[in-house]
Amino acid sequence: MSEGNQQQPVVVKQGGDGTGIGLVLAALILGGALVYAVTIWSNTQKRMIEAPKEAIQKGVDTLKKAIQPVAD
């Protein structure tokens, strides 16, 4: 074979232009993580609001029991 008749290698490109299913999957994962984080934060805030109310109610109930006269 002479130099002019050499066959060029065959190049097979795989994949797309980078905006395929991988990007969609990454967006879904990030969206799910964001929803999870907001839910956890929201529940934490709710518990921080309710906890003092419950503690005060427990204290009031304890005081009520303490000042009640003992029945004979």
Going from N- to C-terminal start, the domains of the chain cover: 34-66
* Residue 18, helix vs strand vs coil: coil
User: Does residue 2 carry a pLDDT above 70?
Assistant: no
pLDDT tens-digit readout, 10-67: 887 776 665 678 888 999 999 999 999 999 999 888 888 888 888 888 999 988 888 8
